[in-house]
Amino acid sequence: MDHLVLVARNVETTLAFYEYVLGAEIRDLEGWRNGTQEYPVLHFGEWKVNVHPADTDAAPRADQPVPGSVDLCLRWDGPIEAAYAHLAQLDVPIELGPTAQEGACGWGRSVYFRDPDGCLLELISYEDENPRA
């Protein structure tokens, strides 16, 4: 994957969530705030997530951009119980998990939760030897 676009109801709240909860690096924030950039960007290593306000006129864009319209799975390096504990420590409500889930690299264990706009997020770990047990 190269990048994806996340549609946000409140860009500042969305950026803070992804930085604080998932450790994203925020880029182009000041440029977006002062109008020299169209949107801020979240970086997860080599992965890039553009954050567009729902009411943006940036082009090209989704035909009907709606906050909460992305489901995103990120790989968690470590046991899924550590991801669960991390989210619980930050008072992020867990929607489901840990549970066995098939991901891009085979079977792993996942935890599901939501961002401030209601986008479904999944953290998956491939650390367990028998994730379906």
Residues taking part in catalysis: 122
Residues forming beta bridges with residue 44, ordered by sequence position: 47
Kind plus residue range of the DSSP H or E element containing 14: helix 11-22
Residue 84: what are its φ and ψ, rounded to 5°?
A: -60, -45
DSSP label of 33: H
Kind plus residue range of the DSSP H or E element containing 122: strand 120-125
